[in-house]
Chain A
Amino acid sequence: MKEEKDMLKSDELMEANKELAFQHVEKEKRAAELGIANRELVFQNGEKEKRAEELIIANKELVFQNGEKEKRAEELRIANKELAFQNDEKEKRAAELIIANKELVFQNEEKEKRAEELRIANKELAFQNDEKEKRAAELIIANKELAFQNEEKEKRAAELIIANKELLAFTYISSHDLQEPLRKIQTFVTVILENENENLSEKGKHNFLRMQLAAGRMQQLIEDLLAFSRISTTDHKFEKADLGIIIEEIKADLKDTMQDKHAIIDAIDLSPANIIPFQFRQLMYNLISNALKFSRPDIPAYIIIRSKIVRGNKLNNPKLSSEKKYCHIVVKDNGIGFEPEFRERIFEVFQKLHSKEVYAGTGIGLAIVKKIVENHNGMITATSELNKGATFDMYIPAD
């Protein structure tokens, strides 16, 4: 038994050796393979280190890029906020624009309405314009006609002025020249009555006396006509004059008549007046001598003369300008007067209310008075009742 056991042990050792040799070969194979693998690993390591190196670089790059991206992200956040704000603003603006737009739409509508109205109004105006043009054309024609008529009137007026001047000159010259032969007739009558007295029958003498009276009336008529035309032709020179002096002169002229009529002239409180003295003397003379002539035979003649400066609105006469000042002159008598219906007519030429046998006169005296008042741009009125005296009111502009 031990040999068997040793024999068995050697086999086992051989087998283990063989196994170990195999394992050794295997291990060498493995080592070679490990060498190769190692070399491979070294290579791979190298590669991996290169890769690692590259990765480090790439990593750095990524870190940098990351930083950049964060910066960009930050900038984008800010830009984003800004955009959000702008967006808000734009929305607000948009809201406002919507409101404004609505308003514009409304206004637009209104404007269209207005435009429509204007179109209508425009049509109306165009129509009216047409009408006006027609009217204007008619007016131009009417105007031309008026201008023509005006020219004709001016011509006629100029002709009338000339005719009037000629007429006055004619009146003056004829009156003047008429005096000459009339005076001859009168003188010859007196020569005959004086020298041929004994040769004339009573009837013949009477007829000569009647002839003398008629010639006397004609003389008065011519003189009055001359006076009437003279006040139209002579110069009109206005002066501030004292009426009292004029009246005193007239009283002196009419002294004899005043004595016959026991007349009193009561002329006080006379304001000075802006008058043509020569003409006004004639005017006052005519009025006073009329008052004396038409005095009542049963009572003394009493003539009141007053004058004062009064504003037109105080004078109760619509024909006077209320703002102007007038010299209001009154001549009032207590004579026979006249019926009120004659108050205008007495101022007309040749108008008489009595026959020449009762009251001598030519009917020119008051026409002269009126003409003189008109030469003074004034007016005269007469007021009377039969047997109750007469009042003459004159209004002469005082400015």
Chain B
Amino acid sequence: MDPKEQRVALRILLADDDIDDCEFFRGALDEFFLFTHFTAVHDGEQLMHLLTNETDELPQVIFLDLNMPRKNGFECLAAIKLNGKLNHLPIIMYSTSLEQEVVNQLYRNGAHNFIRKPSDFSSFKKIIRQALTLITQGNVTQPLRENFVLTA
């Protein structure tokens, strides 16, 4: 199913302290997703607060930056996976650098995908689209290790 044909808006939550990256993300969504409900938070505490206040509807996918102030991506991932109400949510880790050991650990901790932030905008859009397509197709269980890292 093409994401553009989605009738109900896909609820996307982005946790990233970098304003530019949030802008790139929004720009990418604007180009190909008509129906999205996009929220951005800028640190891990805000993310956990939003997920546990029980007033907002839970997102369908979370993009989680690794390096954030106050509570980093690692801690957020662990907290979400330990929370019975949240642990079904697919978490797509999202970082500038790609460290094999870090990636392995994130996979073990139950992350859904790993995206290395690309350095050109078309790749950026391509990879976000790829990740969201997988989610809208209902692929919410953790993929095999070899399919864990998404590349543009």
Q: How far is the CA of A179 from the CA of B98 in the complex (A)?
A: 11
Distance in Å from the Cβ of A245 to the closest Cβ of chain B?
Answer: 16
Q: How many Å lie between the Cα of A278 and that of B119 in the bound state?
A: 26
Assign chain A's interface to a size class: 10 to 19
Would A183 and B101 count as touching, CB distance under 8 A? no
CB distance from B56 to the nearest CB of A (A): 30
Of B34-42, B86-94, B120-128, which binds chain A?
B120-128
A-B contact pairs, 8 of them (CB 8 A): A186-B120, A187-B24, A187-B124, A190-B119, A194-B122, A215-B119, A219-B119, A234-B101
B77-130: which residues lie under 8 A (CB-CB) from chain A? 96-97, 99-101, 117-122, 124
Chain B residues with a Cβ under 8 A of chain A: 18, 20, 24, 27, 96-97, 99-101, 117-122, 124
CB–CB B97/A176 < 8 A: yes
Residues of B with C-beta under 8 A to A186: 119-120
Q: Is A341 an interface residue (CB 8 A)?
A: no
Give complex CA distance A187, B118 in Å.
8
Contacts of A230 in B (CB 8 A): 99
Asked whether, in the complex, the Cβ of A184 is within 8 Å of the Cβ of B20, the reply is yes
- Other-chain contact of A187, B100, B101, B119 (Cβ < 8 Å): B119
Does A180 count as interface, using CB distance less than 8 angstroms?
Answer: yes
Chain A hits for B101, CB < 8 A: 234
Q: Is the CB of B122 within 8 A of A190?
A: yes
Q: Which residues of A contact B96 (CB under 8 A)?
A: 176, 179-180, 183
Tell whether A191 is near chain B: CB-to-CB under 8 Å. Answer: yes
Residues of A within 8 A of B (CB): 176, 179-180, 182-184, 186-191, 194, 215, 219, 226, 230, 234, 278
Q: Which residue of B lies closest to A192 (CB)?
A: B121
Determine how close the nearest CB of chain B comes to the CB of A363; give it in whole angstroms. 21
Closest Cβ–Cβ distance, residue B124 to chain A (whole Å): 6
| Minimum CB distance partner of A215 in chain B | B119
Judging by beta carbons under 8 Å apart, are A180 and B18 in contact? yes
> Which residue of B20, B24, B97 has the most chain A CB atoms within 10 A of its CB atom?
B97
Contacts of A182 in B (CB 8 A): 119
Asked if B100 and A278 make an inter-chain contact with CB atoms under 8 angstroms apart, the answer reads yes
Give the top 9 A-B pairs by smallest Cβ distance, nearest first. A186-B119, A190-B120, A190-B121, A183-B119, A191-B121, A179-B96, A180-B96, A187-B121, A184-B20
Q: Which A residue sits closest to B123, measured CB to CB?
A: A190
Q: Which of A180, A194, A226 has the most CB of B within 10 A?
A: A180
> Separation in Å of the B152 CB from the closest CB of chain A?
12
- Name the B residues within 8 Å of A188 (CB-CB): 20
Q: Is the CB of B120 within 8 A of A187?
A: yes
Please indicate the chain A residues that have their CB under 8 angstroms from the CB of B124 in the complex.
187
A189–B123 alpha-carbon span in the complex (Å): 13
Q: Which residue of B lies closest to A176 (CB)?
A: B97
Chain A residues near B18: list those with CB within 8 A. 180
Chain B, Cβ-Cβ closest to A191: B121
Most chain B CB neighbours (cut-off 10 Å) among A183, A188, A191: A183
For residue A226, which residue of chain B has the nearest CB?
B97
Residues from chain A with a CB closer than 8 A to the CB of B20 are 184, 187-188
Return the chain B residue nearest A186 by Cβ.
Answer: B119
B118 to chain A, nearest CB (A): 8
Chain A residue with Cβ nearest B120: A190
What B residues does A189 contact at CB under 8 A?
Answer: 120
- What's the least CB distance linking A1 to chain B, in Å? 219
**Chain A residue with the shortest CB-CB distance to B100:** A278
Check B120–A179 contact: CB distance below 8 A: no
The distance from the CB of A109 to the nearest CB of chain B, in whole angstroms, is 90
Q: Please give the distance in Å from A319's CB to the nearest CB on chain B.
A: 33
Tell me the nearest residue of chain B to A235, going by C-beta: B101
A329 to B122, CA, bound (A): 43
Which A residues are CB-close (under 8 A) to B118? 187
Q: In the complex, what residues of A have CB within 8 A of residue B121's CB?
A: 187, 190-191, 194
Indicate the member of A180, A182, A186, A187 with the most B CB atoms within 10 Å: A187
Chain A residue contacts of B99, Cβ below 8 A: 230
Once the chains are docked, how many angstroms separate the CA of A101 from the CA of B67?
Answer: 107
Residues of chain A within 8 A of B122, CB atoms compared: 190, 194
Do A179 and B97 contact each other (CB < 8 Å), given the known contacts A187-B119, A187-B121?
yes
In whole angstroms, what is the CA distance A185 to B124 when docked?
A: 14
A190: which B residues are within 8 A, CB to CB? 119-122
List 9 additional A-B contacts (Cβ < 8 Å) besides A190-B121, A194-B122, A230-B99.
A179-B96, A180-B96, A183-B96, A187-B20, A187-B118, A187-B120, A187-B121, A190-B119, A191-B24
